[in-house]
Amino acid sequence: MDKINQAYLTDQAVNETASVFKETGHLTLSDFFTHHTYQEFSKIASRSAFQKNGIPNKYHFGSANIPKKLMDFLHHQEFLDYLSDILGIDVHQLTSGMLYQFKHKDYTLLHDDLTLEPGIDLVFEFTPEWNDQAGGEITYTKEGDAFSLPIKANSFSIINRTEEHRFVRYVNCHAKDQKRWFVLVTLEVQ
Amino acid sequence: MHDTFTDWIDQDTLENLNITHLAESFSTAKPFPYLVIENFLSEEKQQVLLTAIKEEPFLEKFSDLFSFKQTHDLSGTSVAVLKEFRSFLSSKPFLHLIEKITDLELTEGIIDLHGSLYEKADYLLCHDDDLQGRKIAFMFYLSDLDKGDGGLLELYDEHEGDAGEIKERVVPKKGSLAFFAIDGHPYHAVSEIIKDKQRYAIAGWFHG
C-alpha cells in the first residue's frame, strides 16, 4: 500500500478513523495519497475525455469512466481491507462510480427521479485550485440540515448516506476558467 | 377600467391596451403561454416601488435550486406603498384583466407576493413552479439589465416530461410586467448575474 499516506495506515490511525466514522457518519482525510500518487492520479483525471450530461431541470456536468490506474487502486485487496477496517463491514468490491468534471454553470439538483438508495459514498478530490466563492461543493442534506465536503486537493471523504440527499452546488462565475474533478464511488449497503 | 389603474399603469400603455391582441399573444406564445408587457408601470410608480422595496429586509436564500435574496411575503409589510400595490394586484379589476388575457379563472384575494434581488453570482436554476393552487406566476421588473449582464428569464421547451432547450429569453426592463401559466410544465430559470448589477423585482403567484 505505497499509494496511501503512511500516517493513515498505523493501527492507531485506522482505529481513530473508524471511531470518527462510527460516531459521525462522515469524515474527510486530507493529503490522503502520497504526493507522487496524487500527482499521477490528478493528471490522469484532468486529462480524461468527459462526456457532457445535461437535463436542465436535473443536472449539467461532465463525466468519464474512472481511469484504469485509479480503478486498479480501488480494486486492490489492501485498499478494500483498509476500507473494511474503517467501515466495520466486509468490503469485497466497489459497486458504482464515475469521474466527474464540474465547471462554470455545472450543477446537480435534488429531484424525485434522482432519489438515491442508501449507501456509503467515497469521494476522492482531484481539484488543484478552487475559489471558495465559486460553489461546486458536494452537499448532503437531511430535514433542513446540510453539510458540504471541502474542495481540497488530495482529500478523501467517506459519507454514510442513510436518509441524506446529495447534490452538487451550481458553479458560479467566480470559478472563471477553473474546473473541479472528483471521483465518487458508492458502496451499496444492505 | 377602474380608476385605480390610472395610478399604477403607464398612460400610453393604458390607452393602447388591446385585450384581444394580448390574449392571442399569450395563448400562442412559445414555448408555453406567457406575456411581457413593457412599460406597464408608470415611471413614477416604478421609482416609488423600487424605493419602497429597498426598505424591506431581504433574506439570503440558498438551496440546490437557487441563490438570491428575497423579502418576506408582502402581506405583512408595513410600507404603505407596498400595501397599496398589493391591494391593486389583488383588486377585482386587475385580476379581471389577467383573467381576460389568460382565459383562466383566478381566486380573488389569494396572492403570494414578495420582493426579489439578484446580484453577481445569484441565479435560479431550471424548474416548473408546480405547487398546489398556483395558476399564474408574475413579475414586475424594477431594474434595467442588458443581455450580457445575466439575470434573464429563460423559458424552456419540454422534452419527455423534462426541460429541453431554452427557447426564449426575457431581458428585465424597468416597469415591465411578465407572467405565465403554471399549467403543464412551464420550465424556466433566471440566468446567473455575471456583472456587478442589481436586479430588483416584485413577483408572486395568483391562485385559482
Q: Tell me how far apart the alpha carbons of residues B88 and B177 are, in angstroms, rounded to a whole number.
A: 14
Q: Which whole number is the average pLDDT over A99-111?
A: 97
Q: Which whole number is the average pLDDT over A35-60?
A: 97
Given a contact cutoff of 8 angstroms between Cβ atoms, the answer to whether A26 and A87 are in contact is no
Ramachandran angles phi, psi of A6, nearest 5°: -55, -30
Is B207 strand, coil or helix?
strand
Given a contact cutoff of 8 angstroms between Cβ atoms, the answer to whether B106 and B206 are in contact is yes
Contact A170 B125 (CB under 8 A): yes
Closest to A110 (Cβ–Cβ): which among B64, B123, B166? B64
Q: Tell me how far apart the alpha carbons of residues A128 and A103 are, in angstroms, rounded to a whole number.
A: 13
The ipTM value here is 0.94
C-alpha cell belonging to residue B66? 437557487
Mutation test of the interface with chain A: which of B32, B61, B64, choosing the one with the most A Cβ atoms within 10 A? B64
Q: Tell me how far apart the alpha carbons of residues B6 and B14 are, in angstroms, rounded to a whole number.
A: 8
Given a contact cutoff of 8 angstroms between Cβ atoms, the answer to whether B64 and A139 are in contact is yes
For B160-201, how does the pLDDT look when each residue is reduced to its tens digit (9 = 90+)? 999 999 999 999 999 999 999 998 889 999 999 999 999 999
Q: Which helix H or strand E contains B116, and what residues bound it? A: strand B111-118
CA torsion sign for A85, A86, A89, A93 is negative
Given a contact cutoff of 8 angstroms between Cβ atoms, the answer to whether A161 and A119 are in contact is yes
Contact B192 A170 (CB under 8 A): yes
The one-letter amino acid at A35: H
Q: Tell me how far apart the alpha carbons of residues B163 and B68 are, in angstroms, rounded to a whole number.
A: 22
More confident residue, B27 or A188: B27
User: Does B157 touch chain A if contact means CB atoms closer than 8 Å?
Assistant: no
For B:83-142, CB contacts with A below 8 A are 120-121, 123, 125-128
For B25-68, how does the pLDDT look when each residue is reduced to its tens digit (9 = 90+)? 999 999 999 999 999 999 999 999 999 999 999 999 999 999 99
Contact B67 A110 (CB under 8 A): no
Q: Which whole number is the average pLDDT over A137-143?
A: 95
Q: Which whole number is the average pLDDT over A159-183?
A: 96
> What are the angstrom distances between the C-alpha of B152 and each of A87, A138, B115, B124, B146?
47, 27, 17, 10, 9
Closest to A57 (Cβ–Cβ): which among B120, B127, B192? B127
Q: Which whole number is the average pLDDT over B116-143?
A: 94
Check whether B2 has a pLDDT greater than 60: no
Contact B192 A174 (CB under 8 A): no
